[in-house]
Amino acid sequence: MIIVKGYVIMSQTYPTHEEIQQLYEKLFEMRLDKWLNHELFTFQWFLLLAVLIFPWFIWWRFVDKNRIVQILLFGALLSILVVF
């Protein structure tokens, strides 16, 4: 059995399902902790949020409101055609 920082990594044989599940849970906790403490609400996070939202405000300001249904349907049709 290999122990690293108090966590069982593997036994001498193939790992059991429980061992693999424990490692996945620990990995999830570590990733969540890293995201919450080192990535969320950083300058890059706010910049990405602005880059994702700001173009929609610009589009909404300049779009022809009389033809909004036609424009959205055309965009949806193009999206469907591109995917398939």
**Three-state SS at 1:** coil
Q: What is the pLDDT of residue 73?
A: 97
Please tell me whether residues 35 and 56 are part of one structural domain: no
Please tell me whether residues 6 and 34 are part of one structural domain: yes
Please tell me whether residues 55 and 23 are part of one structural domain: no
Identity of residue 63: V
Residue ranges in the chain whose pLDDT is less than 70: 1-4, 6, 8-12
Give ∠ CA 24-18-9 in degrees, rounded to 5. 60
Residues with Cβ within 8 Å of residue 23, at least 6 apart in sequence? 7, 9, 15
Q: What is the pLDDT of residue 84?
A: 86
The total number of structural domains in the chain stands at 2
Please tell me whether residues 35 and 47 are part of one structural domain: no
Q: What is the pLDDT of residue 14?
A: 82
Domain around 22: 2-39
Please tell me whether residues 78 and 54 are part of one structural domain: yes
Please tell me whether residues 14 and 31 are part of one structural domain: yes
